[in-house]
Amino acid sequence: MQQDPEFGVRQLMDIAVKALSPSINDPTTAVTCLDYLGLLFLEIADQEDPPTCRADDGGSLRLVGRGASFESLLAHGFDQIRQHLQAEVGVTIRFLSVLARIGARVHVAERRTMLWTQAHEAVRRADCTIDAERDRHSVNEALCKLAAALHTDPAPLLLAIPR
């Protein structure tokens, strides 16, 4: 995992996605995986992405690789979990809460945008699958906390609360 951080991130994502499958239906495991992913991202929140080009001592280019960037790790860790949230209100709220914890540590605007994009997609799914007024309100609360961490306006993403 030290040589390929995406491997560890993918393992956590795989466990979470399996836990969210209808046949297993284990939201506690999915939440635990999100918490571990959040801890990993807190470690790299403001670290520079690793260089993709390596040169020898004389300055000649010797290797062009694909480093594990914040963007690629975020995609590997969160995309498939987000796609499998369905109507899991508790997992959706934790998903947004983990993004908020990461967002509070991230200072690079581009990374904040990546986190907000993840939230946008998760809330779109929630809007289609979560019907209960109380649950929609809870998702909105988590979204507002994320927006505060990212210094952005939550209004465009807030779920409508049926009366």
Burial class of residue 32 in the structure, from the number of CB atoms within 10 Å of its CB (0-12 exposed, 13-18 middle, 19+ buried): middle
pLDDT at residue 2, rounded to an integer:
61
Percent of the chain topping pLDDT 90: 75
Question: Is position 66 within any domain?
Answer: yes
Question: Is position 162 within any domain?
Answer: no
Question: Is position 139 within any domain?
Answer: yes
**pTM for the complete prediction?**
0.89
pLDDT at residue 51, rounded to an integer:
67
CA distances to 96, 108, 109, 142, 157 from 46, rounded to whole Å, are: 19, 7, 11, 23, 26
Question: Is position 19 within any domain?
Answer: yes
The total of structural domains in the chain comes to 1
Contact by Cβ (8 Å): 42, 101: yes
Percent of the chain topping pLDDT 70: 94
Domain containing 35 equals: 5-157
Confidence of residue 64 (pLDDT cuts 50, 70, 90): confident
Whether the predicted pLDDT of 1 surpasses 60: no
Query: Each residue of 92-150: pLDDT tens digit?
Result: 999 999 999 999 999 999 999 999 999 999 999 999 999 999 999 999 999 999 999 99
Question: Is position 31 within any domain?
Answer: yes
Question: Is position 116 within any domain?
Answer: yes
